[in-house]
Structures are given as structure tokens and as C-alpha cells.
Amino acid sequence: MKHYKAALFDMDGTLLESMHFWRNVVADWMQRQGNGELPPGEKEKLEAMSVGGGLRYVQETYAGTPWSAIRWPGLFAVMAEHYRRDVRLKPGARELLSVLRDKKIPMGIATGTPHHLADIALETAGLSEYFQFVLSPDEFPEGKKETHIFEESLRRLGGASPQETLFFEDALYSVQTAKAMGFYVIAVKEPYSIKDTEKIAALSDLYWQELNEESAVRFLNDLQQ
């Protein structure tokens, strides 16, 4: 097997079972503010939107009500609570990281989650010790749709080339950017990316249903040779 010098990870949906909290965060905030059920159909409608789209929808649709006071800091406070209390590791995540660490492969995080929330999530999950750095939209507002966050990640990973670096991800747009740069992309199945499954699987070098599925275990065993 080829020798890889570094590994880069997405966080939400790849290592952590946390995407459903992001998908529900606007409705969650509204329920907390209203101390009750949402109008019929609103929860489902909001779950189908991006977080930013849901925020704008609530501000416009419920103008003049307490719900229209929704802002990013309020949503982040809800997510911070979830990260401290509710988020769980995806099965096999710790074992995967332990194998890479035992191989002395440096690892970093490139996430779309604000830095302070990522720090809370990784500390709560007991994963902080595995990573040399976390890069987020705080430093790179354009995120993983552009190459800059990847380029800085490679620099911090000791100057490894994309071809020498494993990249673990669950979202199509990020897989597209990384693959175009030459990373060895290992995609992880995530229910909230299910509509993009075929495209993600076709682009990726490997597509894992779970981090501890048979092909993942086989890959890690080969990596240890």
C-alpha cells in the first residue's frame, strides 16, 4: 500500500453524529423561544433548508414576533449545548484515529463549524488530543468550496502533498474540491448527504458506509503493514 504522510478530517457527519442537530437547530431555537410546538409543518420545512436559509425564513415569515429575533449567536448557543451534552462519535471513529496516530501520521481538522464550537465538540468527544490543528470558517470564510483551507492544512501537516494525504469527508462540495487537488479521498456515508451519494461515491477513492465496516478495517490493516 502507498505510504501516506498525513490525514485531514472533516468533523460533523464524518467523525461525529451531529448533522441532525445542525439540521434541527433553527426549529430547536424556535421551540425554546416559544416554549411549545411550532406551527404545523414548520419543523419539516426548516429541516429541509440550510441553517442560513432557515434563519432568513424565520426572520422574514415571523417578523414582529419573538421568533424573528433569531440570530447566529442564538443558534450557536443551542449547538454549543448539544456539543457538550448530546453529540456522539460515529462507530469506529476513535479506532480509526488511534491507528493513524500509532502510525505517527499527523492529523488535522478542516471544518465548516465555527472554531469555538469545534473546540467544544472535540473536547467533549475526547478527540482533541489526536489533532495538531483545527481550521474553520473563522479563518477561511469561503470554507471547503475553495482550496485555501486545504493549502493551509497541508502546510500545517508538514508540507505533505495532496497525493500523500488522506482526506475523510461526507459532503459533496468538499469532496469535489479535495479530489480536484489530488487528495486520496475517503468518503463516509452520512444520511443528510444521501441525495449526493452516487456523486460522492463516484468521485471518492473509497466510500465507506461506516468507519468500522469491513472495507474500512481492511484498509486500516493494510495501512499498518
Cβ atoms < 10 Å from Cβ of 162? 21
| Tens-place pLDDT, residues 137-164 | 999 999 999 999 999 999 999 999 999 9
Q: Say how far apart CA 119 and CA 79 lie, in whole Å.
A: 12
Contact 30, 54 (CB under 8 A): no
Q: Could you state, in chain order, the average pLDDT of each consecutive group of 10 residues for the chain (225 residues)?
A: 88 96 93 80 88 92 90 95 95 95 96 97 97 97 96 97 97 97 96 90 96 90 76
- pLDDT for residue 39: 86
Q: What is the DSSP string of 119-170?
A: HHHHHHHT-GGG-S-EE-TTT-TTGGGSSHHHHHHHHHTTS--GGGEEEEE-
Cβ atoms < 10 Å from Cβ of 202? 10
3-state class of 88 per DSSP? Answer: strand
State which H helix or E strand residue 99 sits in. helix 93-102
| Tens-place pLDDT, residues 191-211 | 888 889 999 999 999 999 999
- pLDDT for residue 8: 98
- pLDDT for residue 225: 64
